[in-house]
Amino acid sequence: MIPYKAPLRDMRFLLNEVLDFPAHYATLPGGNDADTETVNAILEGAAQLCEDVLAPLNQSGDLEGCSFTQGTVSTPKGFKEAYQQFQAGGWQSISFPAEFGGQGLPASLNLFKSEMMGTANWSFSMYPGLSMGCINTLLRYGTATQKKQYLPKLISGEWSGTMCLTEPHCGTDLAQITTKAVPQSDGSYSLTGTKIFISAGEHDLTDNIVHIVLARLPDAPEGTRGISLFVVPKFNVEGDESNAVIGKRNSVHCGSIEHKMGIRASATALLNFDAAKGHLISEPNRGLEAMFTFMNTARLGTAVQGVCHAEAAFQGALPYAQERRSMRALSGKKEPTQKADALIWHPDVRRMLLTQKAIAEGGRHMIYDALKIADHMFHASSVGDEDGYKKHYTDLGFFTPILKGFLTELGLEAANLGMQVFGGHGYIQEHGMEQNVRDARIATLYEGTTGIQALDLLGRKVLLGSKGQCVRDFTFKMLQFARPKLLEGGVNGSMARTLTWKAIEWNLMTLAIMLRAPKDRELVGSASVDYMMYSGYVMMAFSWAQQAAKAGDLLRNKQGAESADFYIAKIQTAEFYFARLLPRAQAHRKAALASTRSVMQMDKEHFTFV
C-alpha cells in the first residue's frame, strides 16, 4: 500500500505565505473565526483522520470492493467504523450554515479537508463528497421546508446525498432524459425512470440517502429547457420541519452496482424509480440550471482528484526511488559502498519524480487560488446577494473546466509515472501504484469528460460567454505580476519574461479562433481540447512563478531560514516546470490553430479496420 502523509507544510506555504488566506478570510463576514490557529487545528485533525483511519483502508477496500445482494449494498470492512469517526468528528459540517447545524466556516476549508481525504482514500471520500453538492443545491434552491427537513441531517453526516442525472440511453446528452415526474394531489410528484452511474447511490453508511433527481413534467417542452429538479429520499421524511424523522421506504431501489476498473470501494449504482415520491426544487423546467450548482461543486471536487492522485503517486514513488538500487549513475558511482546506485540518481527517474511533484504542488496552488472566488460566491448566495453571486459564479466558471479537465489529465499522467518508477513491481498489487492508476482513470470521464470540459471552456465561457474577456482578465493578472520582474536576472526575471509572452500568446490564439470560428463551425470542436490544455499549462506556469517568487523572497529576507531546503526545492521545481513541462503548451497551441480539414475530411465509411 501507499503510506500517506498529509502535505501540511506545502498546504501552509500556499495558505499563509503565497495566497494569504488569513487576509482573504478577514474580508468575509464571520471570517475571523477562521483564524490561523483554527485553520491549523482543522488541518491537523483532518490529517490524523486521513493518515491513521482512511489510508489503511484504501488498499483493503479496493481488494474487497462493495457487495450487492438483492438491492442491498455493503461497503468494505472498516468503512462503517471509519464513517462513524468522520461523522462524530463533525467533518461534514465545517463550511455549512450554523442555523442548520454547521460550523459556518468558509467553503474552502471543506476542500482542504477533502483533498487530504481523497489522497488517503478516494473511494471513501466519495460517500460524504457527493453530499456536499446535494447540500449546496438545497441551500440555494430548496424551499424553507426542504431545508429544515433535509439539511440538518445531511450537514451532520447522519444522511448522505447523491445526484441522479444520466440514464442508460443518453450519457452526457441530458436533453434525452425520459424520467417522468407526475404531479400528485398533495403537492408531491411521482417519479418513474432509471438512473445510472450514481456514485454512492446505495450503501450502508447512513440511515437515509437523499437523491437530487432530474426528470420531466408531463407538459415539459423537449430538450434541456424541459428538465426539472426533484429531491427524492430513499426513505420518506415524516414529521414537521423541526423534528423530521425517517418514515416508510420510498419506491427507489438499487438494481445493480457497476463492476469498475477502479474506485471499487465506492458503490456506483443503477437506481430504479418506480412511482417514487419526490418534491420539486426550484422552478418547473429550470432544473438543469439548479443542477449546475451540484455539478460545479462536483467538478471542483474532481479537479482535486487530479491533485490527489499526483500526490499519492509522488508519495509512493519517492521512497522507492531512494531505496531501490539499480545500475550505476551515468556520471559515475554515487554510492560506492553499495552494489548499485539508488534509482533517484538516474536522470529519467528524477524527471518522473519532478513531474509528479510539479503537477501535485502546481495543481494545489491553482485550486486554492480558485477557492477564494468560491468562498465569495457561497457567501453571496447565503446572504441573498444575487449580483455578487452571479459575478463570482461567472468568474469561477472560467477556472472550473480548466481545473477539472487539465488537472485530471495530468493527475492520470502522474499516477502512470508513479507506477513506471517501480518498473515491474508497479504492475502488481502489493505496492498500491496500479490501484492509483485505476482510481485516477475515472477522473477524466465523470462530471463531464475532458472533451466536454474543453467545449465548455472554449465554446461557452471564452467565445460565447465573454468574447475572450475572461482570458484578458486572467492574463492581465499575469502581466501585473510579471511587470516588476521583467528586468531582473536569474529565475524570477526569466519566468516573468516567459509569462509575459504567454499572456500575449494566449490572447492572440483566442482572437485567432474567435475570428475563424464563424466561418468554420467545426473549429471549436476540433480545437477545444488543445486550447484547454494550453490554458492549463500557462495557468500552472503562473502558479509556479508565484510560488518561486515567494520562496525566493523568504530566502533572501532570511524569514524562512529553518525552511531553506523547502524553499530551495520550490524554486528548483518551478525551474523544472518551465524548462520541461511548459514547452508542451506550444504543441497544443499549434494543434489548436491547425485547420479542421485533417480531422473532418475522412468520410465515416473510411473509418474501417477491415
Distance CA 493, CA 215 (A): 55
Cα–Cα distance measured from residue 464 to residue 489, given in angstroms and rounded to the nearest whole number: 41
DSSP per-residue string spanning 350-398: HHHHHHHHHHHHHHHHHHHHHHHHHHHHHHHHHTT-HHHHHHHHHHHHH
Residue with cell 463551425: 521
Active site annotation includes 335: no
- Active-site residue, from 17, 311, 434, 447: 447
Write out the DSSP string of 491-557: HHHHHHHHHHHHHHHHHHHHHHHHHHTTT-TTHHHHHHHHHHHHHHHHHHHHHHHHHHHHHHHHHHT
Contact 306, 291 (CB under 8 A): no
* Cα–Cα nearest to 298, from 410, 415, 446, 87: 446
> Alpha-carbon distance 186 to 492, whole Å?
67
Q: How far is CA 303 from CA 11, 180, 254, in A?
A: 16, 32, 28
Q: Are 200 and 126 in contact (CB under 8 A)?
A: yes
- The residue assigned the cell 473509418 is 607
Whose cell is 484578458? That residue is: 472
The residue among 407, 563, 551, 399 whose CA lies nearest residue 8 is: 563
Mind telling me the catalytic residues? 447
